[in-house]
């Protein structure tokens, strides 16, 4: 099945710094979503981005489907950005629709 690799696994930032999180996937996808899991365990949907670029405030994401990767940019990080960021994909022409998650990037933003 499709493999999803996220990097880096852990990231520590000072408040105000910028960061880039990467998601590589091994096959064509027709769905890609980025999630933020907060300290309470809730999965917050950040972007639905199977291709192209989107921005939402301090966050933006880019997916280059032909090269099988996606990037999540966090600018001017805040302590509330701490948590685990997951990339999840759905394989094109494959399963009935389940998302396959990466192992996540654990982000810690220090004040």
Partner 1 sequence: EPEVTQTPSHQVTQMGQEVILRCVPISNHLYFYWYRQILGQKVEFLVSFYNNEISEKSEIFDDQFSVERPDGSNFTLKIRSTKLEDSAMYFCASSVLDRVFQPQHFGDGTRLSIL
Using rule CB under 8 A, residue 9 touches partner 1: no
User: What own/partner pairs with CB < 8 Å and gap ≥ 24 does 91-99 have?
Assistant: 91/1, 91/2, 91/27, 91/28, 91/29, 91/30, 92/27, 92/28, 92/29, 92/30, 93/28, 93/30, 94/1, 94/2, 94/27, 99/31, 99/33
Using rule CB under 8 A, residue 85 touches partner 1: no
Residue 42 vs 76, nearer CB to partner 1: 42
Using rule CB under 8 A, residue 41 touches partner 1: yes
Closest approach, Cβ 35 to partner 1, in A, equals 7
Residue 42 vs 53, nearer CB to partner 1: 42
């Amino acid at each position: 099945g499709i493999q999803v690799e996220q990097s880096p696994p852990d990231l520590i930032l000072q408040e105000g710094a910028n960061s880039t999180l990467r998601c590589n996937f091994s096959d064509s996808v027709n769905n890609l979503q980025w999630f933020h899991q907060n300290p309470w365990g809730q999965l917050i949907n950040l972007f639905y981005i199977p291709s192209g670029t989107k921005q939402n405030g301090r966050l933006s994401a880019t997916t280059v489907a032909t090269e099988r990767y996606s990037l999540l940019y966090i600018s001017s990080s805040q302590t509330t950005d701490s948590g685990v960021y997951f990339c999840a994909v759905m394989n094109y022409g494959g399963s009935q629709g389940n998302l396959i998650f990466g192992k996540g990037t654990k982000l810690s933003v220090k004040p």
